[in-house]
Amino acid sequence: MNMIHMKKIFILPIIGLLLFSACNDLNIMPKNVITDDNLLSNEAGMEIYMARMYSSMPFEDFKYMPQWGINYNSWLGAIGIEGTGEALNRDGICSAFTGEDNPYWGQAFTLLRSANHLLETLPQYKSAYKEETYNHYLGEAYFVRATVFYAMARRFGGAPLVTKVVQYPAETDQLEVPRASEKQTWDQVLADFDKAAELLQPKSPKVGYANKYVALAFKSEAMLYAGSVAKYNQTVTGRLTGFGQKTGVRVIGFAEDEWQAASIKYFTEAYKAAKTVMKDGGYSLYKKKWSATDREAQYQNMVDMFSDLSSPENIYVKEYQYPTITHGFDAYNAPFIFRAPLASGTCPSLDFLELFDGFNRYPDGTVKVTDGNSNSQGQYLMYDKPLDFFKNAEPRLRAYVIFPGDMFKGKEIEIRAGVYTGSAPVSSLYNDYSYNNAGTLYQNLDAYKLLPKKLYLSPRQENSQELVPYNGGTITAAGANGPFYDNGEGCLTGLYDRKWLNADPSAVAGEGKSAQPFILMRYGEVLLNAAEAAVELSLAGVTSPDGEDLMQVSTVAINQIRERAGADLLNTNITSTEAGRNIVRKERRKELGLEHKTRWDLRRWRVWHYEGRDGFWGETRNKDSYSNSSRYRFRGLYPFFSTATGKYFFDAHFQWVSQKTFEYNIVDYYFAIPGGEVSKSAVIDQQPNR
């Protein structure tokens, strides 16, 4: 396990330069200027240098918002709300991942300079270190550089490959580095991760440092991305590739005669890196409380794994510490009754829930809420309490999502969309649940608008809820957590996020008061990387790189994940087919949901635009059921109480409160280069299609 412990670096002001007298010797360095001799000649100085680099790494955790980019700010922090289908959010930050307000460009070159400076200058101080320590520091610099180039490549394609310190002043042609081709960029990412793995020690010498297996784990992820882009760009209408106007370099995509070999090369490297971590890294899936026969233990095991810093699954972790190094995830994402100052920032969708085992289904695969063949037919299924609906759900899902009526922080989470006072049995509230009718809200229904009133809904609780007569008293229409039809701060989808929230009842939520860690890389992802790379190599007709049966490797890895999750195991081997590949993709969407991973997977699979959207979920679904030719949206699972029966029923409907629609087009698979960088440079090309 490796934990990143960020430390504040204080830069001493150079005011001494301004205060010298006439007799000062200008050749003497002021004592408050930190030099290479101070930092690079000893391990204490190197710890400062490393902390400075790692504090600027483009890691995506609680302080990363896709809408805003890498600005290290946890305000409004939420996860999975960028049009991936994982979750929805009340705010404007809930929008498709088509770019970042703060593009990762200038920051990248600042960090590259630090890494390159270390690579070029540390050899002057080699004698100050043991050989393995010296090599490790060089390996850290390569790891940092690989991570930066990787962050740029998956955003922009070809990037300027700045692999040495640019000295100032210099001629213009020496100062500016043009964008390399996308292939050259991914080859550089590969080379730097390989060099890092070669030089880094097998175990991190200090908390916060990388090691050989950290580098290999990230390499497996990066090469999976590279192989996917090389292959699946070809599936986009017209092939997704193009040349820069200024340099004539293929800055996005791969040449027609090289994409196939490149994809095989990158998938092979992803497979080998993942298998090395699996074989030699010493990591394993977290199963401290797991029991093969106890679903409650399986659920609790997966809740605990995201906060247990001693987990054998943790490969790379961003660690926080109260009160100095904190974030605000709980302040914005907890259920409404715990709002501090907001709530409901991450509300998982019904579409996400439908990926998981344990629910009755209609013939089209959607979750069954009526006794008919679709949710517009028949009468609603009734439940004594809302939690009964989820009694057979995967324990993994319950660890990721707070169900209506489940317990959190010692309290039952009451979620209610409304109260129905009509007679039983209750027929479907709508006769049209299609995308085109998504704008017909519950408050538009006659049952709510006309007398005698049969449907009760509520505005935000603080504005006085509608009260409904029941059993000689009254109940509130929307319960404690909503949804409230006029405000997005209640439970938008009928479900709340549980993953990453602090479940300790004594923990006080608030802005800047959270300190739970964020797992940037874990062994579960490495298993999924190996499984996907194995299927892709088999589909390409490639002989196994290590002599093992590729489909067996993939199946075993997926079943290890599914067993720990409490999901149904695969009874036969994954096949070398598109259907087999989709089994792996779907499992990845489930296991890594709400971890800043899915949006990158959707990009590299090239399934986010309308024509490719049938594969959006990692399985075949009718794209027209949730999108039209441009926009798409997601659904909630809304519990209603029936006074006639004293039971609950559920309605599956497109997001009702703070409605969000999303749009993603082919052009969005590569972010635009910042316009200012293009306009001021003779060699920096804008994307060909912008």
**pLDDT for 168:** 77
- Contact between 574 and 534 (Cβ < 8 Å): no
Beta bridge partners of 401: 497
- Contact between 513 and 370 (Cβ < 8 Å): no
**pLDDT for 294:** 98
- CA dist 237 and 612 (Å) reads 10
- CA dist 151 and 190 (Å) reads 13
Helix (H) or strand (E) holding 599: helix 598-605
**pLDDT for 9:** 30
**pLDDT for 428:** 98
Look at strands 401-402 and 242-243 and give their pairing: unpaired
Closest CA to 270 of 316, 214, 221, 233: 221
Would you give the distance in Å from CA 433 to the centre of its chain? 29
Question: How many beta carbons lie within 10 A of that of residue 43, not counting itself?
Answer: 14
**pLDDT for 275:** 98
Where along the chain do its domains lie? 321-516+634-663
The helix-helix angle for 212-232 and 259-280 (nearest 10°) equals: 150
- Contact between 666 and 630 (Cβ < 8 Å): no
Beta bridge partners of 650: 639
Closest CA to 409 of 341, 507, 515: 507
Burial class (CB in 10 A: 0-12, 13-18, 19+), 315: buried
**pLDDT for 169:** 73
Phi, then psi, of 686 in degrees rounded to 5: -75, 160
Would you give the distance in Å from CA 86 to the centre of its chain? 10
- Contact between 416 and 641 (Cβ < 8 Å): yes
Tell me the mean pLDDT per 10 residues along the chain, length 690. 39 27 44 84 97 97 97 96 98 97 97 98 98 98 98 98 87 82 99 99 94 98 99 96 97 98 98 98 98 98 98 97 96 96 97 98 97 97 98 98 98 98 98 96 97 94 87 95 93 98 94 97 98 98 98 98 98 98 98 98 98 95 93 98 98 96 98 97 95
Name 298's Cβ contacts closer than 8 Å, sequence gap at least 6: 290, 291, 395, 396, 564, 565, 566
- CA dist 414 and 545 (Å) reads 53
**pLDDT for 585:** 98
- CA dist 366 and 355 (Å) reads 9
**pLDDT for 240:** 97
Measured CA angle at 475 (ends 472, 476), to 5 deg: 155
**pLDDT for 383:** 98
CA distances from 562 to 172, 363, 570 (A): 56, 24, 9
The residue type found at 528 is L
- CA dist 524 and 451 (Å) reads 55
Where on the phi/psi map is residue 208: left (φ > 0), alpha (ψ -120 to 50), or beta? left
**pLDDT for 248:** 98
Give me the DSSP letters along 97-154: -S--SB-SSHHHHHHHHHHHHHHHHGGGGGGGS-HHHHHHHHHHHHHHHHHHHHHHHH
Question: How many beta carbons lie within 10 A of that of residue 8, not counting itself?
Answer: 8
